Amino acid sequence: MILIDGNFGEGGGSIVRIALALSTITQQPFEVKGIRKGRKVPGLKAQHLYGIRALGELSGATSEGAALGSESLKFFPGRLQGRTISIDIGTAGSITLLLQSVLLPSLFANAKVRLKLTGGTDVQWSPSIDYFCNVLLPHIRNFCENIEVNVLQRGYFPRGGGKVEVKITPKFKIDGFPEFHEFLQHLLAQEKSIELSDQQNLLMIKGISHASKDLEQAKVAERQASAARASLGSLMVPVQIRSEYANALSTGSGITIWAIFSSRKDEIDTAHPMALGSDALGERGKRAEEIGRDAAKKLLHENEQKVVCDRHLADMLIPYLALFGGSLRTSEITNHTLTNIYVCEQFLGKRFNVDEQKKTINSVTS
C-alpha cells in the first residue's frame, strides 16, 4: 500500500483527488494521513466523498475512513468499467474539483462513460466550469476519442444545484494490458503529448460573463463583460465576451476569459491548443465592474510572463503530463503544482524534471 503525507507541500485537497485518480488507474491501493491538516476546517470535504463514491460506482473500489472531516483514508481500487453514473454533491461542492478525481480514470475505461453531476459550477477555490471547458478541456481532448461537456444549469454558493453532463469515449483502454507499466509505455509512445512552450502571436480574447436571473435587471453580466473588455483594450486584439443569465438556485455571478495564441502559424491550432485563462467570482458588496477588472488583471499578468500555460493550468495538467509526456513553461511553479508532482511520483516513480528558475516542467519518459 502506498503511504501519502496529506500535509505535504500546500497540504490541500488535491492530494486526495489526484491519489484517487492514479490509484484507480495503476490499481495500487493507498493510505493518506493528515488530510488538509493545516486548513481551518481539516479533513475530507463533500467533493472528496463524492469522488470516492463515483469511483466506487465506476470501478467497484472500496475505502476506509471516507467520512466528512476524516483526516485519514484508505482506498482500494477496482477495475474500471464504462457506464453511466449520477452524483449529486448535495451542496455547492465543486463539480470541477470532483472531476479531478473521476475524469482521468474515465479516459481509460473499457467503454463509454457518462457522468451526470450536480453541485457547484462556479464557486470559490476551484476552477469555474467555463475555465474547465475552454482552457483545460482542449488539452484533454487529445487523449480520448471524444469528450462532450454540457452545462445544463449553473450552481452558485450556497445551494449549488448546478447540473453538468460529461460523456467520454475512451481511446486508450487499460483492460487490454496485463500490467500498468506496459500501458504507461503504450501511452508514452503515442504522438500526442503536452507541449506548452513560449507564446507565439496573440489572436483574440474570448470569454463568458454570467449571473443568476435575479441580477439581470441590474445588468451584472454585461457590466462584468464591459469592464473586462475595457481593461483588455491595450492588447489590441478582438475581445469577444458573451453575457448570459441562469435560472440558478442561489444568487451569483462570475466571468471567465481566455487568451488564444497561434502555434507556429498565425492561426488557431486545435490539435495543440494554446490559451491562457483567468476567472473571477461575484461577491456581495463588490461591484460587477470590479469583478470584470479582476479577471482581466489576472489575465494581463499571466500574459506578461510570455507563457501559454497559466499557473493554475500547470497544476491541473501534471497528472496528464505524467501519463502522456511532454513539457511546459508556466508563469509560476506554485506549491500546488509541486504537491501534485509529489503525489504523481508516489504512484509512478520519478516522472518530472523541474527547473524553478526557468519555470519549466519536463516529463521523464524512460
pLDDT score at 9: 87
- Model pLDDT, residue 199: 81
Rounded Cα distance, 259 and 41, in Å: 36
- Does 301 participate in catalysis according to the annotation? no
What is the C-alpha separation between 351 and 318, in angstroms, rounded? 10
pLDDT at 270 exceeding the cut of 70? no
Catalytic residue among 48, 210, 312, 336: 336
Nine-digit cell at 51?
469522488
pLDDT of residue 128: 98
Q: What's the full length of the chain, in residues?
A: 366
Under the banding of pLDDT at 50, 70 and 90, the label for residue 313 is very high
Q: What is the mean pLDDT of residues 87-94?
A: 92
In angstroms, the CA 138 to CA 147 distance is 10
Distance CA 164, CA 133 (A): 11
Count the alpha carbons within 13 Å of 198 in the hemisphere toward its beta carbon: 3
pLDDT in tens, 15-49: 999 999 999 999 999 999 999 988 888 999 988 99
Residue 266 pLDDT: 57
Q: How confident is the model at residue 193 (pLDDT cuts 50, 70, 90)?
A: confident
- Mean pLDDT value across the chain: 93
pLDDT tens sequence across 158-174 = 999 999 999 999 999 99
Residue 274 half-sphere exposure, CB side, CA atoms within 13 Å? Answer: 27
- pLDDT, one tens digit per residue, over 225-244 is 999 999 999 999 999 999 99
Domains belonging to the chain, first-starting first, are: 2-196+310-363 (3.65.10.20), 202-304 (3.30.360.20)
Q: Does the pLDDT value for residue 268 go beyond 70?
A: no
Predicted confidence (pLDDT) at residue 299 exceeds the cutoff of 70 = yes
Q: What pLDDT score does 316 carry?
A: 97
